[in-house]
Structure 1
Amino acid sequence: MAHASFTSEDDQLRDKCFLSHFAEILSKVNNDGNKVFIDALSLMEFTCLKLHHDEIAGGLYSECHYVGSVGEGISGLDIFSNNSDIDIMFVMKSVHVVERRPIKTNKKCEQLLKMIDADTTPGYVKLKILENEIDENNAMKEDEFLPNSIVQKTFQAYGNASNAGLLSRMVELLGDKMTINWFVNGPSCSTNLETGNRNILTNRLVWIESVDCVIGLKCNEWPEIADEWIERNREYNWPSGDLIEKAVSLGCYVVPIGGRQSITQDLEWRISFVLAERLLVRNMKYMQLFVYSLLKSIRKEIFGEFSIIISSYIIKTVVFWVMEENDAPSWKPEHVLNYVQICFQKLLEFLEDDFCPNYFMRKCNLFHLKYSDNEKIR
């Protein structure tokens, strides 16, 4: 476990360099702007969903969430780059995912699915179809699992057609002269944006380079595999009981991608806590946000070709663990470099163990089959 250990007064004075002063200045600026920024994102989510409903009567999606750096509110904190990406999750309408608590649905227009984690890698589930349709012989089909490709291909086909029109209208709110080119990127639909204009969404002087859209299915329950997160002993009371309660109330999502090299990969879905993660980041103290943003900013420079392995999500996970294991009052501008070092130490522990536990699902290894023994030696 990586804990904070602070150095002598002389070392602390040396550490309070440009970076510490810069962090202190940004802290004062951020205190006033954060609420306005979050309100602007909420407005954009609402607007994006409304535009979609205008494109298709009734709409295919019930929710729209800006996630990643933009959704978390840290895109404007990158002191080394003013480029940013937008990650959007659309939630499919009329599909309900359950695990332990059954719910009533309108059978004519809604689909009920149950999460099953038997024979899957931790963090992945299969979705058992509970309310089946009648086949061509007018007989009920046997219980079966929903392939992720059905939802994935439908979303991608829709993204290449109607979503292009939707995004075209949406980005008009961000600036004109934007070129949109859609392509398939794993479970998401992505587009590179070419523009000479600044993004006026956040008013934080960043350029949007690309947009990644992914489809998710909503589960209103907190999954059993993450129960340990609720019950975990926390020496420094982070996150607080109230924050944990709010996170649990958000439930989770499943996205159409299976475990690496799984023999049932096409039937598996990855559990996602995007809203719980966004909640935790938005409730970070400013110095914690600054350290998180700084680590993301220097990730590619530090890890080079291995930055694909040490992804932004790995960095976020490391920061969550370090925050839980260290006292919040000690996150001060003069200790910024200390905490950068502590985060790297924590990451090194995970690499040495070949196990990076997902912050919400301790049994889920984010390094599972992500790199070879030769890459580890290098």
Structure 2
Amino acid sequence: MTQYENHSVLISNLLDYKGYGGQMLSIRREIQSGIEDDLNQKTASCCQFYTLLVGSKAEGLTAPFENDLDMMQVLKDTVCKEHSTLVEHQEEHEEEHQFKLVSDLSRPGYSLLQTIHICDSLDTATLLYKSMVELAPDNLYLSSDFLKNEIKKLLIGICKLPGNQGFANVHNETQGPSIVINKSETPSDTVVALRCECPSYLFAWKSRKRNHQWPPIAVVREVSSLDSHVVPVGHTGSCLQSLEWRICFTKGEIKLVHSLNDCLTKVLILLKQIAKVTLKPLSKDMSSYLMKNVVFWLAELNDYDYFTQDALIVALKKALADLKKFVVANNFPSYMIPQRNLLEGKLTHSQRIKICMRIDSLLKEGPYMVLKIGKIRNAISMCYKSPTVFSRITMKLHEMHINFYLFLKFLILSLPKSPRVPDDIVRSLFSNSIVGIFWIRFSLSMLDVAQCYKDIGEIKFLDCSNVLC
């Protein structure tokens, strides 16, 4: 019997009940991928961007109403390349904007974007011209800060269109590359991105020596073939910060999360939630992205067969111990670009000491550290109060989440080709019978879940924050 085997199996089963098991993850991923495709098809003719769902929603790790919705808006007809010349572009790429990655003056994983060609016939040309800086005569670079501010102006303008008042609020402050938007109490982080071709980074990642079974060869090949992007944020310590862009492999990282086995997926879920309540109050840089990189390194550097259901707590402790090593060294290599230190310029000496002390405290608690997660605590409490009602709640929650995803999918399919204001969405909601059916089914499921909570005294009224997640 492995250490903490009983605790590991119990917590793993609780996560299954709460919708974090393999079956629900697969359903979420499949439906959300379809929603992304449907949305891009609907807006293809009227929008200069295509949408990528990113973060925990795209990874399938969170329920529909859990956490923010993160989206990446990728500018169409624009490409950034490591090697690019004006002659090449004029002959072969007249219908796209092209920039060259200039990384000589930037930290690993960051780059300037030198303008090679702007196609004046494209609608986005004006937006790009407004965001350029001339560092030398006829030597133009695209500013990450300027473009982000121009996009923010566009979003504020959209919010002021007839039918949009009160629908969205664009925050003045940005978070890294993100623009924060509030839509009907649900915050969403929107990141503007440009497609990027950086074969040198991907080749180095693909060809590095791996002594264990993860990632599988097929996954390595697929990840190295997926689109990369640059997002508008520079390195904090750079004198060219306002011009720099960060290279990211968002689609590849989503694929890597999807390839994790059940044990490591649950380690990632637990690690993110534990960090959120225990480490992030000490430093906002203890982000879910950092935790994801911890799990990637954990999976690659250890025997993959070791990560089984009964080793969940041991694997979680190993992940926290690895995180502590990175904090002590003040050097956290990015999984995709190891030369990039994810902690560079982020933590003060005092913060590092407090984080290490907090991790030590968590490690001493062993399996009981998961009780710091409210959902786990509540699930254990409900399970002991009434196992039968708890089982009913979990079944109804799964049904409710699936009904909501199907409602959203059919709503998008029923939208006109170019929905411009919320009124278009409302009209689609009431004009399509299938959409209405799934909305009714979702609402009834939510009421059933609320009644189950009432039956065991967890809530005395319809508290949506308890019911929806």
Q: 1:362 to 1:75 in 2, by over 3 A?
A: same
* Match of residue 158 from structure 1: 154
Match of 1:73 among 45, 60, 82: 60
Q: 1:12 to 1:34 in 2, by over 3 A?
A: closer
The answer to whether 1:41 aligns with 2:32 is yes
Q: Which amino acid aligns with 2:34?
A: L
Match of 1:282 among 221, 243, 258: 258
User: By how many angstroms is 1:107 displaced?
Assistant: 6.2
Q: 1:374 to 1:240 in 2, by over 3 A?
A: same
The answer to whether 1:336 aligns with 2:296 is no
**How many Å separate the matches in 2 of 1:358 and 1:327?**
20
Contact 2:229 2:248 survives alignment (8 Å) = yes
Q: What are the residue-to-residue correspondences of 1:44-193 with 2, within 5 Å? A: 44-50=35-41, 52-53=43-44, 57=46, 59-61=47-49, 63-76=50-63, 83-100=66-83, 104=89, 109-131=95-117, 142-162=138-158, 180-184=168-172, 185-186=174-175, 187-193=177-183
**How many Å separate the matches in 1 of 2:16 and 2:306?**
14
The answer to whether 1:235 aligns with 2:211 is yes
User: By how many angstroms is 1:342 displaced?
Assistant: 0.4
**How many Å separate the matches in 2 of 1:146 and 1:330?**
47
Match of 1:211 among 188, 191, 207: 188
Contact 2:333 2:340 survives alignment (8 Å) = yes
**How many Å separate the matches in 1 of 2:37 and 2:16?**
34
Q: Residue deviations 1:129-163, cap 9 Å, x none?
A: 1126899xxxxx62322111332122111222337
User: By how many angstroms is 1:93 displaced?
Assistant: 1.6
Q: Which amino acid aligns with 2:192?
A: I
Contact 1:52 1:166 survives alignment (8 Å) = no
**How many Å separate the matches in 1 of 2:66 and 2:3?**
34
Q: 1:25 to 1:113 in 2, by over 3 A?
A: same
Q: What are the residue-to-residue correspondences of 1:7-22 with 2, within 5 Å? A: 9=1, 11-16=3-8, 18-22=10-14
Q: 1:92 to 1:85 in 2, by over 3 A?
A: same
**How many Å separate the matches in 1 of 2:162 and 2:276?**
32
- Which segment is superposed worse, 11-20 or 300-309? 11-20
User: By how many angstroms is 1:15 displaced?
Assistant: 3.8
Q: 1:16 to 1:190 in 2, by over 3 A?
A: closer
CA RMSD of aligned residues (A): 3.1
**How many Å separate the matches in 1 of 2:2 and 2:111?**
52
| 3-state SS, counterpart of residue 68 of structure 2 | strand
Contact 1:24 1:333 survives alignment (8 Å) = no
**How many Å separate the matches in 2 of 1:357 and 1:247?**
19
Q: Residue deviations 1:290-326, cap 9 Å, x none?
A: 1100111111222152241211110000000001012
Contact 1:20 1:335 survives alignment (8 Å) = no
User: By how many angstroms is 1:338 displaced?
Assistant: 0.2
User: By how many angstroms is 1:370 displaced?
Assistant: 0.5
| 3-state SS, counterpart of residue 43 of structure 1 | helix
Contact 2:271 2:291 survives alignment (8 Å) = yes
* Match of residue 270 from structure 2: 294
Q: Which amino acid aligns with 1:44?
A: I
| 3-state SS, counterpart of residue 11 of structure 1 | coil
User: By how many angstroms is 1:227 displaced?
Assistant: 3.1
Q: What TM-score comes out, normalization by structure 2 length?
A: 0.65
- Which segment is superposed worse, 142-151 or 116-125? 142-151
Q: 1:118 to 1:166 in 2, by over 3 A?
A: farther
**How many Å separate the matches in 1 of 2:99 and 2:2?**
60
**How many Å separate the matches in 1 of 2:75 and 2:5?**
53
**How many Å separate the matches in 2 of 1:48 and 1:85?**
19
**How many Å separate the matches in 1 of 2:254 and 2:286?**
20
Q: 1:239 to 1:17 in 2, by over 3 A?
A: closer
User: By how many angstroms is 1:236 displaced?
Assistant: 1.1
**How many Å separate the matches in 2 of 1:275 and 1:151?**
22
**How many Å separate the matches in 1 of 2:286 and 2:162?**
33
Q: What TM-score comes out, normalization by structure 1 length?
A: 0.79
User: By how many angstroms is 1:222 displaced?
Assistant: 3.8
- The structure with the largest alpha-carbon Rg is 2
**How many Å separate the matches in 2 of 1:369 and 1:89?**
26
| 3-state SS, counterpart of residue 41 of structure 1 | helix
Q: Residue deviations 1:230-256, cap 9 Å, x none?
A: 111111131111111111111310011
**Runs (5+) with no aligned partner, structure 1:** 1-8, 136-140, 169-177, 196-208
Q: 1:331 to 1:94 in 2, by over 3 A?
A: same
Q: 1:117 to 1:285 in 2, by over 3 A?
A: same
**How many Å separate the matches in 2 of 1:304 and 1:267?**
29
| Identity, % of aligned positions | 24
| Count of aligned pairs | 335
Contact 2:215 2:259 survives alignment (8 Å) = no
Q: 1:23 to 1:330 in 2, by over 3 A?
A: farther
**Runs (5+) with no aligned partner, structure 2:** 121-128, 130-136, 355-469
**How many Å separate the matches in 2 of 1:237 and 1:48?**
36
**How many Å separate the matches in 2 of 1:166 and 1:262?**
42
- Which segment is superposed worse, 283-292 or 268-277? 283-292
**How many Å separate the matches in 2 of 1:321 and 1:332?**
17
Contact 2:96 2:118 survives alignment (8 Å) = no
Q: Which has the higher helix share?
A: 2
The answer to whether 1:369 aligns with 2:345 is yes
Contact 1:252 1:273 survives alignment (8 Å) = yes
